[in-house]
């Protein structure tokens, strides 16, 4: 009896190892606050001659991947992605998924990143994805709002769909809250720079009901930080304002993410041998992400 009990324990243990193999080897997102001294050391790598003043302007507040769009902060004209295309007319951008209609638009850059994510899902055996909605012009959003009302739509200019960064993803099998595609996205989208914008446990913060189909691109390392800390976009931007600068290590890459209010734009300096990305928050500040 003891022998059979021991064998059963071994089998259960082996099953646990197999099931948890992916999470066991998944790299941890390492985040730490950065004080001003550490930040200066990061910027001063090399000699002072390598430091560049970026010349970031106030208009940048309304441009980038981290813009907060909700009922309080609307989309500005300069916020709209400039590379929006009709996906039906660009078959090279739709490998691995279908389109609900022939007039679905999206930023070309975001469509390419979405395709990369779908390729990752395919490796996991999840393949029945479709895009049900993408970018909407203001007049299209207004028509939708008039037809569906405030309970199911947002006024023109107050929807993330007006940016070109968001899309509604469906499953050709069943509703997303039950489909393998919905479950895969909720668990894995962050690793590709996307977030589930309106999670079930954040309705009090976002002001929007749970939408398992609506994803939004924010980019790495931001999606990884949000996943690690269980932040909605509103919470993440508040966190950056409080911390000012954070150091992030993810996938063997180091990042310095810094928040600057409008009054400090002239103080932004970055080493010339570093890459960087800039995004406004659509409110009153700039987020600069420096990486190797």
- Residues annotated as part of the active site: 211
Q: How many CB atoms lie within 10 A of CB 214?
A: 20
Pairing of strands 97-99, 129-133: parallel
Cβ within 8 Å of residue 69, ≥6 positions away? 75, 79, 158, 159, 160, 162, 163, 282
Q: How many CB atoms lie within 10 A of CB 158?
A: 17
DSSP result, 83-147: TEEEGGG-GGG-TTEEESSS--EEEHHHHHHHHHHHHHHHHTT---EEEEE-B--HHHHHHHHHH
Greatest alpha-carbon pair distance for the chain in Å reads: 76
**What is the chain's Cα-based Rg?**
21
> H/E element holding 265?
none
Cβ within 8 Å of residue 160, ≥6 positions away? 69, 166, 197, 214, 216
Take residue 62 and report the two structure tokens written for it. 């309304």
């Amino acid at each position: 009896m003891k022998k059979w009990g021991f064998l059963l324990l071994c089998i259960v243990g082996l099953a646990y190892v197999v099931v948890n193999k992916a999470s066991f080897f998944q790299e941890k997102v390492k985040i730490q606050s950065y004080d001003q001294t550490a930040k200066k050391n990061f910027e001063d790598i090399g000699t002072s001659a390598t430091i560049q003043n970026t010349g970031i302007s106030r208009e940048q507040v309304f441009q980038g991947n981290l813009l907060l769009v909700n009922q309080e902060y609307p989309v500005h004209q300069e916020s709209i992605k400039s590379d929006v295309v009709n996906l039906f007319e660009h078959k090279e951008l739709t490998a691995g998924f279908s389109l609900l209609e022939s007039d679905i638009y999206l930023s070309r850059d975001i469509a390419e990143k979405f395709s990369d994510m779908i390729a990752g899902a395919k490796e996991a055996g999840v393949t029945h994805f479709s895009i049900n909605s993408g970018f909407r012009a203001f007049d299209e959003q207004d028509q939708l709002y008039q037809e569906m009302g405030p309970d199911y739509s947002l006024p023109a200019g107050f929807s993330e769909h007006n940016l070109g960064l968001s899309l509604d993803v469906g499953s050709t099998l069943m509703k997303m809250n039950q489909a393998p595609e919905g479950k895969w996205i909720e668990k894995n989208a962050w690793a590709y720079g996307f977030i589930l914008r309106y999670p079930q446990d954040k309705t009090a913060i976002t002001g929007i009901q749970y939408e398992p189909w609506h994803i939004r691109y924010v980019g790495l390392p931001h999606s990884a930080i949000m996943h690690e800390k269980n932040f909605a976009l509103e919470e993440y931007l508040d966190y950056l304002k409080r911390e000012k600068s954070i150091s992030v290590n993810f996938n063997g890459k180091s990042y310095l993410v810094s928040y600057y209010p409008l009054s400090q734009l002239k103080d932004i300096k970055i080493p010339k041998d570093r890459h960087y990305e800039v995004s406004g928050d659509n409110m009153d500040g700039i987020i600069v992400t420096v990486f190797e």
